[in-house]
Structures are given as structure tokens and as C-alpha cells.
């Protein structure tokens, strides 16, 4: 009889202890992830807006890379800015996204086929130019693929115009961005 009473008390306490432990474990994981993202946000390598250009440094992280060439005073760039910032924040440590104001510093876009702003250029984590997969080819997003004149080898993939948050998600998924 005493053992039944004891079990009625101990079993619910054990259940509460397990539930509490799981809750604390999840909270700790979320806190660690938030701290890691804050640390990355403070790391110069993961700052969105750049005033210099160092492709090798961006590619050294071996993460998918999006270079956005735009301007603060460009209306389409201003329209895209919230999606660009959201993509940057959502992918810290899993992708590198950079913004360059080529109206203030035209030299930052030197060597890239910039006909309009915003224009995005894409590289895979291994540094090679990204080629959109079949799903993206059917998504309605238009990409320009550039080749080296002498070898015919793929040189760049470029998108001209505005991308929204979903476009960034689709592109980064196609680029092989890891999910945490």
C-alpha cells in the first residue's frame, strides 16, 4: 500500500523532471545558436555592406556567396533591401551575402557585367560560379550565364533586378546551403 502511494508521488515528479530537463536543454540550444549568430554578425567577414572588395576573402569561408551590386539611392535597390537584409541575417554562418554601393564606389563592380542595379553574382562554396538547377530554371527567375571567350567555360551567373525573400531561399537552397 505504501509503495503505491510512493509511486503516485514519484512517477509524476519524474515526468515533470524529464519535461523540465527537455525544456531547459532546448532553451540552452536556442541561446547558444543566438549567441553564435551575434558573434558572426560582429565578424567583419559576415558584415553585409562592404566598402572594399576582396573576393578571395569572401570565398575563403567556403560557403555559398551572393554579391549584390546596387546603390543606396536606387529605388529598386531600396525595395529589395529588406529581403537582402533578411536573407543575410537568416543565413549567417551558412552563406556569405555582400552588398556593394557601386554608385558611391564604382570600382567595387569592376570586372563584372553591371548593366543595371541591383545585379547579383553567385558563387558556390568551392569558389566556382553557380549554375542554376532545373527547378530554378523553371521558377521564372531569369539568370544570365557568362562564359570565358577563349575556353567557353562557365564564368559567371548573374541576376539583374529585384529578388524577394523566397527567391533568396530558393537560390541558396539550389546553391547547396546547409540547413541547421
Each residue's pLDDT expressed in tens, for the chain with a length of 180 residues: 677 777 788 777 788 778 877 777 676 565 455 444 444 445 566 899 999 999 999 999 999 999 999 999 999 999 999 999 999 999 999 999 999 999 999 999 999 999 999 999 999 999 999 999 988 878 889 999 999 999 999 999 999 999 999 999 999 999 999 876
- Spell 104-128 as b/e; 16+ CB within 10 A means b: eeeebbeebebeebbbbbbbbbeee
Question: What pTM, to 2 d.p., does this model score?
Answer: 0.77
Amino acid at each position: 500500500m505504501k509503495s503505491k502511494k510512493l509511486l503516485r508521488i514519484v512517477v509524476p515528479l519524474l515526468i515533470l523532471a524529464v519535461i523540465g530537463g527537455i525544456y531547459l536543454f532546448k532553451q540552452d540550444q536556442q541561446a547558444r545558436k543566438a549567441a553564435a549568430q551575434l558573434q558572426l554578425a560582429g565578424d567583419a567577414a559576415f558584415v553585409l555592406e562592404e566598402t572594399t572588395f576582396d573576393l578571395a576573402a569572401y570565398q575563403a569561408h567556403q560557403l555559398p556567396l551572393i554579391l549584390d551590386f546596387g546603390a543606396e539611392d536606387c529605388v529598386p535597390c531600396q525595395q529589395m533591401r529588406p529581403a537582402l537584409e533578411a536573407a543575410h541575417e537568416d543565413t549567417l554562418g551558412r552563406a556569405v551575402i555582400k552588398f556593394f554601393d557601386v554608385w558611391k564606389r564604382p570600382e567595387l563592380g569592376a570586372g563584372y557585367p553591371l548593366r543595371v542595379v541591383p545585379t547579383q553574382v553567385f558563387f558556390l562554396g568551392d569558389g566556382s560560379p553557380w549554375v542554376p538547377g532545373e527547378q530554378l530554371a523553371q521558377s521564372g527567375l531569369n539568370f544570365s550565364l557568362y562564359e570565358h571567350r577563349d575556353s567557353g567555360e562557365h564564368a559567371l551567373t548573374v541576376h539583374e533586378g529585384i529578388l524577394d525573400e523566397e527567391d533568396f531561399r530558393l537560390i541558396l537552397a539550389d546553391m547547396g546551403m546547409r540547413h541547421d
